Structure 1
Amino acid sequence: MTKTLADFDFETGEVLLLDKPLTWTSFDVVRKVKNTLRIKKIGHAGTLDPLATGLLILCTGKKTKEIDQIQAQEKEYTGTFRLGETTPSFDLETAVDMARPYAHITDEQITAATAQFTGLIQQTPPIFSAVKIDGKRAYELARTGQEAEIKAKTVEIKTFEITRIALPEVDFRVVCSKGTYIRSLARDLGVALGCGAHLTRLVRTRIGEYRVEDAFTLDAIQALRPPRPDSEASTLPGTTRSRHERPNTAPNRAGLQYFAALQADALAAKHLKDATEKSAE
């Protein structure tokens, strides 16, 4: 029999599979589940970027001791690369900064290019990542315009399969080791093909034997929300204190429209700057 949420003993310890919504940070999900179910001890076993969806594993109670073990297991992802355009973050979080022709690239060239990115490879993480540089997160430096050098590291790509080609879009399936950046894989494939590329969609489908098909949604978690204890109720007769929720208009809830707006603003600023510099010549 499949275990339901009502069967979980979160305080003692559980491994909970969540299907992370688009634009939510992993910390957002942890906080939401913690507050909704009133779990004292909870953490996640492997971050997902805000623009990625799919499997996020939460551990509660005594099961938090298994987080490192779960994080070390291989990961599987599916998603989409867009050829012919690059972005500083290697995904949709930042505006396109360069466009190149791609129509001449054949299906055979794309498939053949994946071979150099399988096995043990050296990969450089994105500057817009949580990698630490001199005690600071790389993305903190990147967002303030500071330059920083990130060292390459060894990762393992066990499977790099192209599942659909409809230029400029290329769909893929990747099975890889802990620490692999799919955004960097998009960048590297674009370099290999000579046209540039960035990641436009990413779904984590598996961590070890845990699969996204078995994951719960946040709506299902929300349905288990217990009533507030009497001690938290208002002292006014017939009233209760309302829970504080972040507004749906918050940036990390606005979806791809928010990031598209960011890109449009950044691109407009770049065009204005280029036009100003050209007129000053």
Structure 2
Amino acid sequence: MQFDFETGEILLLDKPLTWTSFDLVKKVRNSLRIKKIGHAGTLDPLASGLLIMCTGKFTKKIEEIQAQEKEYTGTITIGATTPSFDLETEVDTTCDIAHITDADLEAARQKFVGVIAQTPPIYSAVKVNGERAYNLARRGEEAEIKSKNIEIKSFEITRVALPEIDFKVVCTKGTYIRSLARDFGKELGCGAHLTKLVRTRIGEYKLEDALSVEDIMLIRDERIASFQKDQETKDQETPDQA
């Protein structure tokens, strides 16, 4: 593969589970010795999937890419809640779900399609009085986070194996799937939290076209080998000095 990172590249990466978005940016930057690089849309450590990076002059495209619609797949577990709305924190409440039917799930799903008001999780990067909300949450402090309007363009239930519900969501920028899981559980009256999340698409960019960390290492090795070969060629072309 040939890349011109200085002029600009749009790199599609598959972020591994538990890595922060910055972890992956750092790995790519250091491995490929890229001077200027940034990512277009954070993924939580407990989410995996498509993370887009822009290099060189293409960093100007970051806002444009961030503004595009997102597609996610994942799993919501009903009947239990956590303070973070996902697996970052321990379950704090549980509820019987024996009465939940497919009709209940469908009725709840329909409530979350279209433009809705959504409150971001306290365990998020939203700023409250100049400080990240997750810092306040981890110190056990209360914080009031304002709701905002987002759009869920589609919300499909793809598998039901209670307490697990698999889903596919297409949404606008700024949507928190953890909050969707929390609100879905509230609508069912039994609570819920997000137990798996994969970002599969941003605009026209798809996860299936993304590079893995292993691919990045192969590109690094190819670049090193190419540099060494070019250096050997130059050495051979340079005459010995008497």
Aligned to 1:205: 200
Aligned to 2:218: 223
Aligned to 2:209: 214
- From 175, 186, 195, the equivalent of 2:181 is 186
Q: Give 5+ residue unaligned stretches, structure 1.
A: 1-5, 231-281
Aligned to 1:114: 109
Q: Quote the Cα distance in structure 2 between the aligned partners of 1:208 and 1:32.
A: 25
Aligned to 1:177: 172
CA-atom RMSD, angstroms? 1.3
Counterpart of 1:193, as a letter, is L
Q: Report 1:48-67 matches (<5 A).
A: 48-67=43-62
Is the aligned partner of 1:23 residue 2:24?
A: no
Q: Report 1:1-281 matches (<5 A).
A: 6-225=1-220, 226-227=223-224
Q: Quote the Cα distance in structure 1 between the aligned partners of 2:205 and 2:116.
A: 25
Q: Matched residue of 2:181: which SS?
A: helix
Question: 1:78-102: per-residue Cα shift (whole Å, max 9, x none)?
Answer: 0000000000000000000000001
Q: Matched residue of 1:223: which SS?
A: helix
TM-score by length of 2: 0.91
- Given that 1:51 and 1:201 are in contact with CA atoms closer than 8 Å, whether structure 2 keeps it comes out as yes
Q: Quote the Cα distance in structure 2 between the aligned partners of 1:84 and 1:222.
A: 42
Shift of 1:116: 1.0
Counterpart of 2:24, as a letter, is V
TM-score by length of 1: 0.78
Q: Quote the Cα distance in structure 1 between the aligned partners of 2:137 and 2:207.
A: 32
Q: Matched residue of 2:111: which SS?
A: helix
Aligned to 2:237: none
Q: Quote the Cα distance in structure 2 between the aligned partners of 1:50 and 1:107.
A: 31
Q: Matched residue of 2:60: which SS?
A: helix
Q: Give 5+ residue unaligned stretches, structure 2.
A: 229-242
Q: Quote the Cα distance in structure 2 between the aligned partners of 1:92 and 1:102.
A: 20
| Percent of residue pairs identical | 70
Q: Quote the Cα distance in structure 2 between the aligned partners of 1:169 and 1:10.
A: 43
